[in-house]
């Protein structure tokens, strides 16, 4: 026997339909890089999305085809998400901060048919074009002859594609660990469940009263799902195509921003700006801002403290591209109101609890499920309907038989279920919310004449959360110094991968199988202090 309720597949197009129907006049604002402000609303974005779907359909694209975007945050980018999904396709948001090599790999691997980009990226796109094997259409968002003409040519009489809720709708690559970047292919169903969970008070606390400024880019982990959850809640969105603190601060004040979300780094520059504003006798307040969600890297205590002392609640989130990305969220505890501010800050410094929808466990060093005792640390695993099962085009699942996905993070679980990240086993460095592969850095560094072996580790940094430091062993008799190694690297890596320091040692610690023992190396250099 089956239940006798209506049988609706959960489809992402229901989100944009809902937002347009019930919150059609709620504003969607874009502050473009040239300083101009453009105002649309949910009805306008839905109309553009429908016309884009119609255009993609006219291109002869088929269900499941991938539409790539290479763009900053703005309302046309939002329309592109829904437009790509609306005809049955998959929106693939490409991280603009990757190297050419990775970008080419990713777009060919994804077999993107359309590439939509901001005019500012024209030089990059020109470089990539000869190598992109599957892209048939290039569309420039901020060009009246390109995106503008495409929209103008559609009459908007188009019905969204229907289908199964397990159809794919979005593709995000993660390039954290070694090897090629890996794609995570979200479903309509996983995205909808995640969006519905996200609006809850204990997660993003979204409602039609919220004015949300997502600082997290639309090309990072599905922008934490906010473009979907924002539609489900009917929020006012404010997008900024650039992320400088003075611009964001202006928007917070002028647009009545109540909610914001992003990696820690951005708040440090904001504090610097606020101090300067205050010294100059200008408005250094945060206006109506009441909830800031910080994630992607550990939020430093000082940052949480400063925001909370200015009356803004901070929610500390943990997640991964593989988890849609919400894994945990630091909502207030039941006894919140009885805690002192200092105790509340203690709570927020940890990574929070799982929402309904996902499960967590920690596996200790002997392979057993660790007790939730706040001390036993181990491998953090997660499972649930918005957690990855298998990477895009991989030939095997990336989870065990019980669907547990190993995150590569090390953590403890406290008795109340609060999760606290304590370390990372995956060999990567996260700087300003972006990954640096330590293995790749090491491989390049050992090509430097005079270097026998090198290990790259992440060292805490006041501005970037972590910065790479290279620990090297010289070849016998080699005459080489820090400056020479840096000069060698400068020609081979992008600027922001440059180790803050190159230090020399007589030998590196090794595991039994001859690999560099990163945990030991990190321990050895734990007192190293990097300047901001």
Nearest CA to 118 among 27, 218, 250? 218
Which residue of the set 160, 224, 435, 464 is catalytic?
435
Q: Which is nearer to ligand ADP, 234 or 352 (CB)?
A: 352
Q: CB-wise, 236 or 424, nearer to ligand ADP? A: 424
For residue 165, the minimal CB distance to ligand ADP (Å) is: 24
The catalytically annotated residue of 30, 69, 174, 321 is 174
- Show contacts with ligand ADP in window 403-462 (CB under 6 A): 407-409, 421, 424, 430, 433
Q: Cα angle at 425 between 420 and 431, to 5 degrees?
A: 80
Q: Which of residues 123-162 bind ligand ADP (CB under 6 A)?
A: none
- Residue 351 touches ligand ADP, criterion: CB under 6 A: yes
Helical axes 13-22 vs 188-198, angle rounded to 10° = 40
x/- mask, ligand ADP, residues 280-319, rule CB under 6 A, reads ---------------xxxx-----------------xxxx
Shortest approach of ligand ADP to residue 457 CB, angstroms?
15
Question: Toward ligand ADP, which CB reaches closer, 425 or 505?
Answer: 425
For ligand ADP, the binding residues in 156-215 under the rule CB under 6 A are: 174, 176
Distance of alpha carbon 372 from alpha carbon 15, whole angstroms: 37
Catalytic residue list contains 322:
yes
Q: How far is the CB of 121 from ligand ADP (least distance, A)?
A: 20
**Closer to ligand ADP by Cβ: residue 176 or 455:** 176
Helix (H) / strand (E) element for 295: namely strand 291-295
Stretch 317-346 residues interacting with ligand ADP (CB under 6 A): 317-321, 325
Q: Closest separation between CB of residue 23 and ligand ADP, Å?
A: 27
Is 430 in the active site? yes
Q: What is the dihedral of CA 145, 149, 151, 154, to 10 degrees?
A: -170
On whether the CB atoms of residues 303 and 268 are closer than 8 A, the answer is yes
Residues 6+ apart with CB under 8 A from 439: 178, 427, 456
Can 174 be counted among the known catalytic residues? yes
As to burial, measured by CB atoms within 10 angstroms (0-12 exposed, 13-18 middle, 19+ buried), residue 27 is middle
Which position among 182, 236, 430, 518 bears the catalytic label? Answer: 430
Q: What's the min distance (Å) between Cβ of 51 and ligand ADP?
A: 30
Cis status of the peptide bond prior to 38, with omega within 30 of 0: no
Nearer to ligand ADP, 91 or 139 (CB): 91
Q: CA gyration radius for the chain?
A: 23
Return the number of other C-beta atoms located less than 10 Å from residue 429's C-beta: 24
CB of 472 to ligand ADP, least distance (A): 25
Contacts with 280 (C-beta within 8 Å, 6 or more apart), sequence order: none
d(CA 224, CA 195): 10
**Interface ranges with ligand ADP (CB under 6 A):** 174, 176, 220-221, 295-298, 316-321, 325, 351, 407-409, 421, 424, 430, 433
Catalytic residue set: 174, 322, 430, 435
């Amino acid at each position: 026997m089956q239940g006798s309720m209506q049988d609706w597949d959960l489809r992402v197009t229901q989100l944009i339909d809902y937002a347009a129907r019930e919150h059609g006049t709620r504003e969607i604002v874009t502050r473009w890089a040239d300083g101009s402000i453009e105002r649309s609303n949910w009805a306008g974005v839905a109309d553009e999305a429908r016309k884009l779907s119609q255009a993609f359909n006219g291109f002869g694209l088929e269900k499941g085809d991938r539409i790539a975007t290479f763009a900053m945050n703005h309302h046309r980018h939002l329309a592109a998400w829904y437009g790509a999904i609306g005809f049955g396709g998959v929106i693939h948001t490409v991280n603009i901060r990757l190297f050419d090599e990775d970008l080419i790999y990713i777009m060919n691997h994804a077999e993107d048919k359309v590439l939509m980009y901001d005019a500012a990226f024209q030089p990059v796109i020109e470089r990539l074009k000869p190598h992109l094997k599957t892209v048939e259409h290039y569309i420039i968002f901020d060009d009246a002859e390109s995106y503008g003409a495409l929209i103008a040519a559609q009459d908007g009489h188009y019905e969204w594609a229907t289908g199964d809720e397990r159809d794919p709708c979005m593709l995000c690559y993660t390039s954290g660990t070694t090897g090629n970047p890996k794609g995570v292919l979200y479903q309509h169903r996983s995205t909808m469940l995640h969006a519905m969970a996200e609006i809850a008070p204990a997660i993003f606390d979204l409602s039609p009263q919220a004015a949300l400024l997502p600082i997290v880019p639309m090309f990072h982990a599905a922008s934490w799902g906010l473009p979907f959850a924002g539609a489900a809640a009917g929020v006012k969105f404010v997008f900024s195509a650039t992320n400088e603190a003075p611009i964001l601060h202006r928007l917070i004040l002028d647009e009545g921003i109540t909610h914001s979300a992003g990696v820690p780094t951005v708040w440090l520059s904001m504090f610097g700006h606020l101090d300067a504003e205050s010294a100059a006798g200008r408005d250094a307040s945060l206006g109506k801002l009441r909830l800031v969600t910080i994630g992607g890297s550990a939020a430093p205590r000082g940052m949480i403290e400063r925001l909370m002392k200015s009356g803004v609640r901070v929610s500390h989130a943990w997640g991964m591209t593989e988890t849609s990305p919400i894994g945990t969220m630091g909502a207030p505890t039941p006894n919140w109101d009885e805690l002192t501010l200092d105790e509340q800050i203690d709570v927020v410094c940890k990574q929070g609890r799982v929402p309904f929808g996902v499960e967590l466990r920690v596996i200790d060093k002997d392979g057993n499920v660790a007790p939730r005792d706040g001390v036993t640390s181990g491998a953090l695993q997660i499972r649930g309907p918005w957690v990855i099962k298998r990477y895009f085009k991989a030939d095997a699942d990336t989870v065990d038989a019980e669907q547990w996905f190993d995150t590569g993070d090390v953590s403890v679980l406290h008795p109340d279920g609060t999760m606290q990240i304590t370390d990372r086993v995956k060999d990567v460095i996260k700087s300003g919310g972006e990954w640096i592969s330590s293995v790749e850095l090491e491989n390049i560094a050992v090509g430097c004449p005079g270097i026998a072996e090198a290990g790259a580790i992440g060292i805490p940094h006041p501005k970037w959360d972590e910065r790479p430091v290279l620990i090297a062993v010289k070849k016998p008799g080699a005459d080489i110094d820090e400056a020479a190694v840096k000069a060698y690297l400068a020609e081979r890596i992008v600027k922001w991968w440059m180790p803050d320091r190159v230090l020399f040692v007589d030998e590196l610690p090794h595991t039994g199988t001859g690999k560099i023992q990163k945990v030991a190396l990190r321990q050895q250099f734990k007192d190293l202090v990097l300047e901001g």
